[in-house]
Amino acid sequence: MKSKRSLILKGLSSLWVMTVLFVLGGKVWADATPMVTPTETATSVKPDPFSFADFTWMNGNARVKTNPLDSKYFTPEIIVDAHYIYDFANPIDHTLVGTTEGSRTQELEVQEIGVGGDLHVDNVIGRIFTQFGTNATQTVRNDASPGRGTTDLADAYRYLSEAWGGYHLDVNYGLNIEAGIFMSYIGLFSYYSPENWTYQPSYVSSNTPWFFNGVRVQWFPEQNLKIEPWIINGWQSYGMFNSQPGLGYQVKWAPTGDISTVFNGYYGTDNLAAPGLYRMHTDNSLLVKYLDDPKAPIDKVAFSLTVDYGQMWGSVPSSLGYVDNNGNPVTSINPSQENFFGSMLYNRFWFDHDHQALTLGGGFMVNTGRYLVLLPDLPNGSTGGANAANYASPYFTENPGDPFTGWDWTVTWSIMPSQFLMYQIEFNHRGSSVPYFAGPGGITSANGNNVGAAGSYVPDLRTSEDRINLACELEI
């Protein structure tokens, strides 16, 4: 059995080899691909990275082209996301399962109210952005790291989606050193719904990190290339799960204004009280705009493709209670027992001079061991159900080798009267290989109340979900 040191070195080596290959391959392609950039004089300042084209068409990017509130030292931003979700199963407790957009059905809900912006004073940079609404409870619920130690990290950070500061160095096209809470963009979709092509993201996006807490360095060697290493507390976590930080990277490269690629990688130990259990993940996206004709009835068409793979391996203490199919304790896990593979593909059509759009797409994930599946709020013996730190439910187990396959498809009609406002009407179908979604009986109790110990009520779990999402989203 390999030593802990060799396992760590193996994981780090794999990540950096992938990074070098992406950078070298991208550099060769970039050198062979002409790119039109603004004309510079001998005394002019280099243009900002990725400013050579309009990328507001991309999935996961802000649609706002100009900010009317911009100022010399601070660029403010406001986001409002409100919705009504109709679940055809009509669960008695109005609870949604395994979703990152919405937590309750048949009710008007405010998902996000965010206020903040970007600071830029000389070479000092920073960003702060709030999160109020259901994001303030949904996001922290899926982080197990506050279960370690005494400080209440969940309450300390729950109202902040981003909070970081840093310094900009005039190296190449920019070198930024930043520390705090920042967005990960693993899984392509933005954490902020107004920036996405659909309202409900597919599994790959919903089940991978939205944010990191740590340090990042953003290096722009070329105007169309970003290399960004991370040293972070862990996989979408406010704190550290054990005693080793997570390591990762993002490489973003856009050879033209019609093509963009994003590569992410991660390595860390992200299971509470299991420092010998290692995780790696790779996330890769391609976005292509293959039609752009302002005079045509369909004036723009683009697609996004994302492919992810991950795995866990190593030792686990018997105190965690993992068992195999025969009920025997598990103290060692191999990648065949804990792994992840998923993909999603979307195609978007713009018409009415970009004031309307139709998006078709979906995806799937296979997560053996269920270590990335968003856990349903099932009874586990505590009032209010389980969270990521105390989860132990007989109705949806997380033992090594437990199977889970999920798939979904979506049709989204977006109405955009301005660059700041978008309405979305969406039909979303999701399925799973095991009972997972809320049925008519709900998942909390027989009378719809979110109470009851394990055994007092058997949740009504189903293998499919059909719903309609109606959303109003504002971003300035």
Secondary structure (H, E, C), 152-175: CHHHHHCCEEEEEEEEEECCCCCE
Check residue 327 and give its pLDDT: 77
CA-CA distance, 405 to 249, in Å (whole number)? 27
Q: What is the reported pTM?
A: 0.86
Enter the tokens of residue 346. Answer: 């979307």
Nearest-angstrom CA–CA distance, 225 and 94? 45
Rounded Cα distance, 221 and 343, in Å: 30
**368 — alpha (psi -120 to 50), left (phi > 0) or beta?**
beta
Bridge partners, residue 121, by sequence:
124
Q: Give the chain's radius of gyration (CA, Å).
A: 22
pLDDT of residue 102: 87
**Nearest residue to 441 via CA among 375, 379, 383:** 379
Which residues, in sequence order, are CB contacts of 72 under 8 Å at separation 6+? none
In this structure, the chain runs to a length of 476
Write the single-letter amino acid at 114: G
Query: 3-state class of 194 per DSSP?
Result: helix
Cα atoms found within 13 Å of the Cα of residue 301, Cβ hemisphere only: 7
What pLDDT is recorded for position 383? Answer: 46
- The first and second tokens of residue 382, run together, are 């505590």
Other beta carbons within 10 angstroms of residue 331's beta carbon come to 12
Token pair, residue 175, equals 């070198």
pLDDT for 4: 44
By the 8 A CB rule, do 123 and 473 touch?
no
Q: Parallel, antiparallel, or unpaired: how do β-strands 298-315 and 332-333 relate?
A: antiparallel
The token pair at 93 is 């407790």
SS3 content of the chain, % helix, strand, coil (to 5): 10, 45, 45
Supply angle C-alpha 93, 97, 103, rounded to 5: 65
The token duo for 266 is 């991660």
Residue 384: which residues within 8 A CB-CB, separation 6 or more?
A: 377, 450, 451
Q: What are 444's two structure tokens?
A: 């909390």
End-to-end CA distance of the chain: 55
pLDDT value at position 453?
A: 53
Angle at Cα 346 formed by Cα 83 and Cα 195, nearest 5°?
45
Low-confidence ranges of the chain (pLDDT < 50): 1-43, 381-383
Residue position matching structure tokens 């065949």: 336
CB 99 within 8 A of CB 374: yes
Whole-angstrom Cα distance, residue 264 to residue 429? Answer: 28
- The mean pLDDT of the chain is 86
Q: With contact defined as beta carbons under 8 Å apart, do 372 and 338 qualify?
A: no
Q: State CA 382 to chain mean position distance.
A: 28
